[in-house]
Amino acid sequence: MPFKKLFFSGVLTALLQVSVAQAQSQTKTKVLLIGTGGTIAGEARVVGGATYDSGKLAVEALLETIPEVKDEFELEGRQLADPESATADNPAGAVNVNSSFIRERHWLILARWIQEALEGDRFDAVIVTHGTDTLEETAFFLQLTVKSSKPVFVVGAMRPSRNNADPDGPDNLRGAFRLALDNRSRNKGVLVVAQFRVFPAYDVTKVRTYPSNLPIKSEDLPVPFDAPNFGSLASIQKTGRTLKDWRITWNDRNRLLQEDRKALELKFDAAKLVSLPEVPVLSQEVGNQAKELIRDYYLQQKPEIRSFVLMGSGNCALTRETRDYIAALASRPDLVFVRSSHTASTHCHLKREDLWPNVLGAATLNPRHFKILLQLFQAAFDSDRKERETFRDALTAYLRERVPYPYGLLPD
């Protein structure tokens, strides 16, 4: 073959290869994977042992546990950054955090990163790996602060991913990546993926724990989470040879996505927040000291506190001492008390003027979730305060309009 023809043939081949590579890149789903630590990034101290150290694996090491996704997705891994952990050797403050040590400043960083990632065409989805103990709180905060139709998945594990013969973390991650390929994942808010089940962050709660070396196949482990009021959104079936063959069955009749869809439309702007106000959660049980804590500690030493969540027993019940004391504070429109319940399925009326004129109900939100809602609402109220509107009136109106109160829990 003459040199000219050989040269142009080589150029043409190279251009075709570049075009094919670009086409493949353009068709790949673009996913940002954020690692925060937890058991999913853990390492067992002894191979197969029950004791382990969480947060030993960086996000790149987690990706190595599921090497097949690199061929199917355009990926970027990012480790959680905490300015308070920055050092000369780690100027970005990259950290793995045990979920018990997750703080509100970490939430604000995650919300900002995810919001920026999902704007424009840079990423199609975000996956956050997280320890399971506070996973539901982080997921709920992201549900209230990330504004995008694109999916966000929060994934944890009950077994460490290293030095365990059958870890559950890699399959939980695969499930999230499989969901990222499904357009039906859009417009469903933040989703928690665990044991081939998909739960709405609005209602998810951890319901069980068990030893990391439980002698059961990872696929048969009990599901650590539940959505007791609205139910799971989907199930994933591990079928076929490739990740794309995994079957997803969506629960299209789920109430959260139909009649109560406004639950997914609860949104707050966290972009400018540097901290969140304190909202105490006080438990109501036999012999509790909630009245004394409110009177002698919070109201005297922390006058900036505006609201309290009272974790009642059974049907959101409060002790008589607490009820009587709170009723005596009814003339304080700057204070709000919210009844919730320690039971998994929570149904609390919005307001009962005849019983507690200054006590609101948490609807189906558990105490941890409602605390986060109050933190964000108070931050927004303080930054955009209406002079003629009290904190209690503003919150009551907001809950009546925005929060779903099913089963006739919203009085006339």
Strands 197-200 and 73-79: unpaired
Token digits for 277? 């106000």
CB 402 within 8 A of CB 373: no
14 vs 277: CA distance, rounded Å: 59
51 as an active site residue: the answer is no
Instruction: Give the strands of the sheet with 351-352, arranged side by side.
Output: 281-283, 307-312, 336-341, 356-361, 351-352
In 211-366, where do the E strands start and end? 225-226, 234-237, 247-250, 281-283, 307-312, 336-341, 351-352, 356-361
CA distances from 265 to 38, 147, 187, 368 (A): 29, 9, 10, 19
State the helix-helix crossing angle for 367-383 and 135-145, rounded to 10 degrees: 40
Active-site pick, 39, 65, 205, 346: 39
> Tokens 């009749």 — which residue?
253
Q: Which residues of 127-142 are buried (b: 16+ CB within 10 A; e: fewer)?
A: bbbbbbbbbbbbbbbb
Q: Residue ranges of the alpha helices (H) in 306-390? A: 320-327, 367-383
> Tokens 């042992």 — which residue?
49
Token digits for 164? 């365990």
Report, in angstroms and rounded to the nearest whole number, the Rg of the chain calculated over CA atoms.
24
| Cα four-point dihedral sign 157, 162, 163, 167 | positive
Contacts of residue 162, defined as CB under 8 A and 6 or more positions apart, other chains included, come to 42, 43, 44, 56, 57, 61
For 375: left if phi > 0, alpha if psi spans -120 to 50, otherwise beta; the answer is alpha
Residues annotated catalytic, as ranges: 39
